[in-house]
Structure formats: C-alpha cells, structure tokens
Amino acid sequence: MRISALPLAVVAAALLVIWVLAAIALNWQVVADAQARTGHSPDWQAMLGLTLNHARPLLPGPHQLAEELWRSTVMLPVTSRRSLVHHAWITLSAALSGFALGSLAGIVLATAIVHLRTLERSLMPWIVMSQAVPVLALAPIVIVALGSLDLGDLWPKAVISAYLCFFPVTIGMARGLASPDRLSLDLMRTWSASRVQIFFALRLPVALPFLFGGLKVAMAASIVGAIVAELPTGAQAGLGARLLAGSYFGQTLQIWSALAMAALVSATLVGLLALAERLIARRMAGAA
Amino acid sequence: MSLLLAILLLVAAGFAIHRLARLEGPVLGLAAPLAFGATLLALWEFLVVANEVPMVLLPAPSAIGARMVASAGILWIDFNQTFLKAVLAGYAIGCLGGFLLALLADRVPFLARGLLPLANLAASLPVVGIAPIMVMWFGFDWPSKAAVVVAMTFFPMLVNTLAGLAAAGRLEHDLMRSYAAGHGATLWHVRLPAALPFIFTALKVNAPLALIGAIVAEFFGSPTAGMGFRIATEASRLAMDMVWAEIALAALAGSAFYGTLALAERAATFWHPSHRP
C-alpha cells in the first residue's frame, strides 16, 4: 500500500487534537471538585493547565504520557523493578517463545493437512471452531494446570500465546501450500518429481506470502496472549501485571504507559516481519 | 494397560474417520469432523478416568457436563450479563460504527488515505489492553465491557468495508455511469452488494473477538456475575469443573454466534462464486 504522508499527518493531527480536548473534558470535573474542596476557584486558563497535568488523570495529556514513558524506560536502569523495559522484556520473552512454538505447530499442521485428505476433512472444521472458543478464557486453566507442573513463569504464558498463534499460521500456510495451480503441479509430475521435491521446489515458495500474512497476525496475537496470561494469576512482573496493578491502585499513568509500551513492541515486531517478508520476496524475485 | 487400550481405540477411530472422510454432501460431509470430535472427547474421558488425573489439572468431560447441568442457573446469569448485555451491545455499536466511518471515508478519499494506515496499525496493537481504562471510565458493570468490545470490533470492520467498497469492477462502474446513476444509487445497487462478502468476513472475525474482549475486561473488575468474573474467581478457588463449564458455555455461545453469521452470509451472498458447488 502506498503511504500518503499528507492525509496521514492530517488525520493523526486531528486525533491528537481530539485527545487533548478529551483529556481536558474528562479531567475537568475531577480537578474542579479537588479545587473546590481546597476553597480555590481558578480561572479557566489555570484550569486548562491543571486538567492536563493531573497526577491521576482519567485521560492523561499526550505530553504526560510521553514524559512517563521517557521516565520509566530511559531514566531508570533496566534492572530496576520499576523500569518498563524490564516488564516489557518479561512479556516479550513469553510472547516470542509462544510465537515460535505456535508458528512451528501451525506450519507442521498445515503441511499435514495439505498432504492428508482425511486430516483436511476431519480436522479443519475443528481448527476453525477452536477460534470460536474465546481462547483467552482458557488462560486461568492453563496457568493453574501448568503451574502445578513447576515449569517456571515463562512457559504457561508461552503456551497461551502459542494457542493464539497457531490458527492464523495454519490457515495461511494451508491456503498457501494448496495454491499452486493444476498446470504447475502437472509440470512437476511430468518431471517425475517426488512429493518432497514438489513441496520444496513448488509449494513452499508459493506459500511464503500467505505464511507471512499469517505470521504477522500471529505476532500481534502472541503479545495479546502473553499480556492476558498475566492477568488472572496475579503475576508480579510483565506488562499485563503493570496493567492490573495500575488498575487496582488507580495509577492511570502506569496503565497508559504500559499500554503504549505494548503497542510499541507489537507494532515494531510486526514491522520487522513485514521487512523480512519484503527482503525474502526480493531475493526470490532475483533468483527466479 | 490403559495406554494400550487408548492406542487401540485411537487406531480403530482413525480407520473409521478415514473411511468417513470420503463421504460427500452437506449432511454426510459432517460425519468425519463429528467422529473426530467424539473420538477426542472419548479419549479425554478415558485418559482422565484411567489415570485418575486430579480435578485441578483436568476434569473429565462427564464431570464438566454434570457441573453444567447442576449450575445451569448461575451459568444463565453469567451468560445474560456477559453475552446478552456486553457482547451484543458492543458488537452492534462497534460493527455499525466501523461500517459508517468506512462509508464516510469512501466518500472522502482524503480521509480514507489518512485512516487506512492507522487502522492497519491498530490491527497489530493489543487493543484488549484498554480494558482497565474502560473499567475506570464506565464503571464495573457491562457498559465498560461493551466499550472494550466496541474498540476491538471497530477496526476490522472499517478495514474490511473499505476493501469491499473497492471490490466492484470497472465494468459495473461504467455501466452505472451510463445509467446516469449517482453516488447513492451506485453504492446501493453495485458497491454494497459487492462489499458484502468482505463485510461478512469482518462480522465473522469480530464474533470471537467480541466474546474475548468482554471476558477479559471482566478480569479487571465486574459486578458479581459474568463469565470472566466467574472464571477468574473459580480458578483461584481451584474449582476447575466450574471454570471448564464456563469455557464450554463460552465455546457454545461463540460457535453459535459464528454459525448464525455463516448461515446469514450464505443467505445474503448466495450469488458469490465461493458458494457455488
């Protein structure tokens, strides 16, 4: 897709203005009440400043969020328990482990489905239906069950990420592996290519764009999985734990910064995948 | 001994499914997947009972079924709170909102070119994380859950509708122009029907998303009812049969929701090539 800078900038700027106005509107009542209690009645200019700099705002101003992000990532040492980098890494490591596990399972499953008709007929409907199950609701169960097996903190979360990951990869990969047309398959057969040769020379290269489409969805899902997996168990560290703690103690800036961090990590990883996809596509176009 | 029996059962079921997989047709075609599901359930029940797996790890399907029957009243209260209130309200608002904004963006190309990159970006963000903020803004009851559902369903609908509105071919456009049809008539007679498959894709993608959003949002605080609330509290009491009963209910609700949409899609887009035999 061609990115057009001007419309994007205008829409983004409009959203920023809406954000600031909403922050003023949402925080107005809280600030006004607090000022009334102390007997002050500031004029509207002072009120604007106060609403945008409240310590526990319903919606922080953009500069407050940027400040908080800067403070909790750059100003604090990475090893500190209050450093957002530390928490992001804990969530990210679980998400990436789950992503690797789930994608691998998805690719293997798709390969089996494309080659065995029985599997396609009997398994595929269940794979589709497995997504109608609100998977994240399984998180407490997996955490409790795997927690009793003494696997450490990482793997229960990774399993939930993996469950979310496998579906888009399986579907994308299966569609991709089945996408070569009759002509190409017949051509391979006239060369008396074996199933393995057909797989590596024809099916796999053709399936790559589909695979990357699935991987990008899976990457975003793995982050969601890791964050939600931290919620029901009262995890001590991680972005999900920051969200939960912030929600309990009314530390809204903490919630917003954890959310912004999660968005940043997720968007970066998906962007990296898109980059890898483009590089591989260019290599393959050069080789052909 | 039990392992041997389980393997025998699996092999026998495997052969049966292999034979069933050759059956064709709208009803007979269901035989293989149904047999597969039944095998899975039987294997689960068998392994749990034979190995005396503790309830905390994994309750048997029969125990879950018994719990569902015994706690039908509680399940209904939770279903009412989470699905009938939060999910349906949020789903309707989110999908309608995304659809209407797509129509507007389609009318104003400048807006579409600015919105689309942002909407695509939103697809890679963990949107469900806004749950604690929505609970803070809208309180503990269902409106906060509905708000999370709105945020989760909005962007897929926006992106898909925009893609669908661009799907009608050049020829159809030219034909409508030669009829001197305006924007509205072209939209209604050509472009919306052409966009229907895309819109239904978004509706189907959004169905499980909505359920997930509402359940996860309840982890951040809810009145003393709701599927997410029950799952979180019963899991911390290690009453795993109740947790599984809620999961089974959620799975049933999610599948029924999805299935209804799939049927509606078949009825509304019967002309589409993918439905022809």
Q: What is the mean pLDDT of chain A?
A: 81
| Statement to judge: residues B44 and B74 lie in one domain | no
| Statement to judge: residues B213 and B131 lie in one domain | yes
Å from B20 to nearest chain A CA? 8
Is B104 within 8 Å of B163 (Cβ atoms)?
no
3-state secondary structure A73-97: HHHCCCCCCCCHHHHHHHHHHHHHH
Q: Is residue B114 part of a domain?
A: yes
Annotated domain spans of chain A: 5-59, 84-287
Higher pLDDT, B212 or A145: B212
| Statement to judge: residues B24 and B126 lie in one domain | no
Q: Is residue B12 part of a domain?
A: yes
Q: Is residue B150 part of a domain?
A: yes
| Statement to judge: residues B24 and B48 lie in one domain | yes
| Statement to judge: residues B149 and B249 lie in one domain | yes
Listed in sequence order, the DSSP H helices in B166-226 are 170-178, 183-186, 192-218
| Statement to judge: residues B118 and B8 lie in one domain | no
| Statement to judge: residues B76 and B200 lie in one domain | yes
Å from B180 to nearest chain A CA? 31
**pLDDT for A166 beyond 50:** yes
Going by C-alpha positions, the residue among B167, B166, B158, B151 that lies closest to residue B120 is: B158
Nearest to B124 among A144, A145, A267 (CB): A267
Query: What single-letter DSSP state applies at residue A2?
Result: P
User: Structural domain of residue B121, as residue ranges?
Assistant: 69-275
Nearest to A141 among B114, B129, B240 (CB): B240
A228 and B128 within 8 Å at the Cβ level: the answer is yes
| Statement to judge: residues B74 and B44 lie in one domain | no
**pLDDT for A138 beyond 90:** no
Q: How many contacts (CB atoms, under 8 Å) link A and B?
A: 174
Is B227 within 8 Å of B49 (Cβ atoms)?
no
Q: Is residue B244 part of a domain?
A: yes
Confidence label for B2 from pLDDT (cuts 50, 70 and 90) = low
Domain with B160 in it: what CATH number? 1.10.3720.10
B77-98 pLDDT per residue, tens: 989 888 898 999 999 999 999 9
Please give the average per-residue pLDDT across B255-262, as a whole number: 86
Q: For position B4, what pLDDT does the model report?
A: 77
B13 interfacial to chain A (CB closer than 8 Å)? no
Q: For position A26, what pLDDT does the model report?
A: 81
- Upper half-sphere CA count for residue B81 (Cβ side, 13 Å): 23
- On chain A, the residues whose CB falls within 8 A of the CB of B137 are 26, 58
Q: What is the CATH number of domain A84-287?
A: 1.10.3720.10
Going by C-alpha positions, the residue among B148, B154, B118 that lies closest to residue A228 is: B148
| Statement to judge: residues B122 and B236 lie in one domain | yes
B161-188 pLDDT per residue, tens: 988 888 888 888 888 889 988 888 888 8
Q: Average the pLDDT over each of A142-151, A225-234, B35-44 and give the range with the smallest value.
A: A142-151
| Statement to judge: residues B153 and B240 lie in one domain | yes
B135 and A247 within 8 Å at the Cβ level: the answer is yes
Is B145 within 8 Å of B217 (Cβ atoms)?
yes
- On chain A, the residues whose CB falls within 8 A of the CB of B40 are 126
B132 and A243 within 8 Å at the Cβ level: the answer is yes
**Dihedral in degrees, nearest 10, Cα atoms A29, A30, A33, A36:** -100
Helix B131-138, helix B142-165: angle, nearest 10 = 120
Going by C-alpha positions, the residue among A71, A24, A61 that lies closest to residue A44 is: A24
- On chain A, the residues whose CB falls within 8 A of the CB of B90 are none
Give the total number of structural domains in chain B: 2
CA distance B145 to B217: 6
User: Which residue is closest to B135 within chain A, CA to CA?
Assistant: A247
Amino acid at B61: P
Is B35 within 8 Å of B13 (Cβ atoms)?
yes
